[in-house]
């Protein structure tokens, strides 16, 4: 039985006993007047006694005026005769018999009850868990070995991170292998990356692979309403770790407790800072924590305190990025392992069509596909289900029940046709995957482009083409319908933001030069929150605004020119959208370029995709071969000045 229910049962029993005793010992008392025997006899003689109750050596009775009395009598056989002569009603009851255990209960039970309550409260105070006065104890949970364990087979797409963490397990299993060369076991590993990339899953895999105690706790569980509780829980956590060494302690979302110090307005007396200070001391202080490895996960490494990030505390910083095309394919294989799929399902195609997806996004997509297939009572999940699930995750749920007027639908069709037309007429843009005028999510229509290859850097030409595509919808509305609508609001927002980044962050303006304007300064009193700091003059601000405006206007005019010159093609696309509501990339090519040229484009795209796939396979093979080769004797020189940003 759960301890909570045991406590409830105990308190119920104590409450019932207290109620019974209260009813037993606190009967409503009738006020009896004590009479000596001679006064009682005088009252009988005077005829003032109405009735008596005889019980052993005691008499209780009522006088004529209604008052109650009580007295003790001696054994006198003439008493009853005397009472009858005076017309007194007589009631005789047997003498009261009390057993020894009743006497013992009455005399000792209150003391025993108090002793039991005192023992109960002392046990509550001394034990951990959710008991009284135990808020200073750590709430870390020791992972049970009976639960279903995750392993590294369940993790895909993050090979480098897996290698780093697998080595931690080898440290624990065979420490002599590394210690014979003077190596020390790492004290801490910081796993960081965007949300949904598999940081917590990696920790679960470590727990499943390592045959050592595994404690897991969230960073927010250290903070409580009581002062000093966080530091106390940190101490208790590491004490548990020392008792179970070698062991692994996993703190999820460590940014809740490890934020940069100095954010407290009162100096350094912030509760969170005390918790962090204790964590710093426990990780690398005078006290030794041999055999205790701390693994922490966060998606906000920029706000962590520098003292927490240094070697000696977190010796390794493992980055878990968003998976590439091969990584996504591996993740899809893991998630489709227990799902019956048809033979025509090609995971490589799905991985190519999901750029930027995290592991959580891919898992959600597979689950949505399985639910869609189950909704249609299918036995196997088909490729169509995966494509529909991908569209649902990327673009939102179709809102076919939404009532839209014909005029609004026509505006949406020309808007989306403008995006498609500009994207197709400008060489080098991402291919059109799908265009629809069915409302999805919060959008009335959507044009989706999918890149052929993974992109890590963006040239100026690509960004300029992107700006033109964004303003293609607005240009089509103005030229074809002689009006503009609010439907281009999101496009304008994205375009303006992109143009400002090109000028202020990426130095892509000849007028403004390769300078960064608007430094991102982290305000210390806000807890290292990012805010925009204006580090330039008003004249520079005017110049930036002018440059942004010119860049946007240039892209808009470019889009209008393309739409104006290809007005007939725009009308065809819009009419096709109004008729079919959704168009694929192949159908768009046929409308824009004709059937023959569309086939040529399809062959060319297939060739490019095959070349990209071959190049990726070759790079993977080269990487695996390089991992098997011995390291060079001399360390190659590095050039930090020429470092290229991802």
E strand or H helix at 646, and its extent?
A: none
| C-beta neighbour count of 24 within 10 angstroms | 10
* Selected catalytic residue, list 363, 416, 478, 547: 416
User: Which three-class secondary structure state does DSSP give residue 520?
Assistant: strand
Residue among 247, 251, 173, 168 nearest 213 (CA): 247
Q: In sequence order, what DSSP letters do the residues of 105-126 get, joined into one string?
A: HHHHHHHHHHHHHHHHHHHHHH
State the chain's maximal CA–CA distance in angstroms: 138
- Phi and psi at 511, nearest 5°, equal -70, -50
Q: What is the separation of C-alpha 29 from the centre of its chain, rounded to a whole number of angstroms? A: 64
CA dist 129 and 144 (Å) reads: 16
> Any bridge partners for residue 89, and if so which?
51
CA dist 47 and 502 (Å) reads: 118
Q: What is the separation of C-alpha 572 from the centre of its chain, rounded to a whole number of angstroms? A: 47
User: Which three-class secondary structure state does DSSP give residue 411?
Assistant: helix
Residues near 136 by beta carbon (within 8 Å), at least 6 away in sequence: 228, 229, 232, 233, 236
Give, as one character, the DSSP assignment of residue 432. E
CA dist 371 and 616 (Å) reads: 33
416 tagged catalytic: yes
Tokens 């998976």 locate to 323
Residues near 561 by beta carbon (within 8 Å), at least 6 away in sequence: none
- CB-CB contact of 227 with 180 (8 Å): no
Residues near 314 by beta carbon (within 8 Å), at least 6 away in sequence: 187, 188, 189, 190, 294, 296, 308
- CB-CB contact of 201 with 308 (8 Å): no
Give, as one character, the DSSP assignment of residue 631. P
CA dist 412 and 418 (Å) reads: 10
Q: Using CB atoms within 10 Å of the CB of residue 270, give its burial: 0 to 12 exposed, 13 to 18 middle, 19+ buried.
A: middle
Residues near 108 by beta carbon (within 8 Å), at least 6 away in sequence: none
As annotated, the active-site residues are: 416
């Amino acid at each position: 039985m759960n301890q909570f229910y045991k406590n409830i049962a105990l308190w119920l029993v104590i409450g019932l006993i207290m109620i019974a005793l209260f009813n037993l010992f606190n009967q409503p008392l009738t006020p009896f007047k004590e009479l000596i025997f001679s006064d009682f006899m005088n009252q009988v003689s005077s005829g003032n006694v109405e009735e008596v109750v005889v019980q052993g050596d005691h008499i209780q009775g009522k006088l004529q005026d209604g008052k109650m009395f009580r007295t003790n009598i001696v054994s006198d056989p003439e008493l009853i005769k005397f009472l009858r002569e005076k017309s007194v009603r007589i009631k005789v009851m047997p003498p009261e018999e009390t057993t020894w255990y009743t006497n013992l209960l009455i005399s000792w039970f209150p003391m025993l009850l108090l002793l039991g309550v005192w023992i109960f409260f002392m046990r509550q105070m001394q034990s951990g868990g959710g008991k009284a006065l135990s808020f200073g104890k750590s709430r870390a949970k020791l992972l049970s070995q009976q639960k279903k364990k995750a392993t590294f087979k369940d993790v895909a797409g993050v090979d480098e991170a897996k290698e780093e963490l697998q080595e931690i397990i080898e440290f624990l299993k065979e420490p002599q292998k590394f210690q014979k060369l003077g190596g020390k076991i790492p004290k801490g590993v910081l796993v960081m990356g965007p949300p949904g990339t598999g940081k917590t899953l990696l920790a679960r895999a470590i727990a499943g692979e390592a045959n050592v105690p595994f404690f897991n706790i969230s960073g927010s569980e250290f903070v409580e309403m009581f002062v000093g509780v966080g530091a106390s829980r940190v101490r208790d956590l590491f004490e548990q770790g020392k008792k179970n060494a070698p062991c692994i302690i996993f703190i999820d979302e460590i940014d809740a407790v490890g934020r940069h110090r100095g954010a407290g307005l009162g100096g350094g007396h912030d509760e969170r800072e005390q918790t962090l200070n204790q964590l710093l001391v426990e990780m690398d202080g005078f006290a030794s924590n041999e055999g205790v490895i701390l693994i922490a996960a966060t998606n906000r490494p920029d706000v962590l305190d520098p003292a927490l990030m240094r070697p000696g505390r977190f010796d390794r910083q493992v980055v878990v990025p968003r998976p590439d095309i091969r990584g996504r394919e591996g993740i899809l294989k893991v998630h489709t392992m227990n799902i019956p799929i048809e033979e025509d399902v090609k995971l490589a195609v799905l991985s190519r069509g999901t750029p930027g997806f995290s592991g959580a996004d891919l898992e959600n997509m597979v689950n949505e596909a399985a639910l869609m297939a189950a909704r249609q009572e299918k036995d196997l999940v088909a490729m169509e289900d995966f494509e529909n699930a991908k569209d649902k995750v990327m673009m939102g749920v179709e809102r076919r029940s939404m009532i839209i007027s014909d005029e609004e639908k026509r505006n949406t069709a020309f808007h989306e046709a403008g995006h498609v037309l500009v994207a197709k007429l400008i060489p080098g843009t991402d291919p059109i995957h799908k265009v629809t005028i069915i409302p999805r999510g919060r959008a009335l229509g959507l044009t989706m482009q999918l890149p052929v290859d993974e992109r890590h850097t963006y040239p100026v030409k690509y960004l300029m083409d992107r700006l033109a595509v964004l303003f293609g919808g607005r240009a089509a509305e103005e030229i074809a319908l002689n009006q503009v609508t609010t439907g281009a609001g999101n496009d304008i927002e994205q375009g303006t933001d992109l143009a400002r980044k090109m000028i202020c962050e990426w130095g892509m303006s000849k007028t403004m030069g390769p300078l960064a304007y608007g430094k991102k300064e982290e305000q210390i009193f806000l807890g290292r929150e990012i805010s925009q700091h204006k580090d330039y003059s008003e004249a520079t601000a005017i110049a930036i605004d002018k440059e942004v405006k010119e860049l946007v206007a240039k892209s808009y005019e470019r889009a209008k020119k393309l739409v104006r010159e290809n007005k007939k093609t725009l009308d065809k696309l819009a009419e096709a959208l109004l008729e079919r509501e959704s168009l694929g990339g192949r159908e768009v090519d046929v409308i824009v370029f004709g059937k023959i040229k569309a086939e040529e484009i399809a062959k060319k795209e297939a060739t490019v995709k095959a070349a990209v796939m071959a190049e990726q396979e070759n790079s993977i093979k080269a990487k695996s071969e390089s991992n098997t080769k011995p390291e060079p004797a001399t360390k190659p020189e590095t050039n930090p000045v020429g470092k290229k940003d991802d």
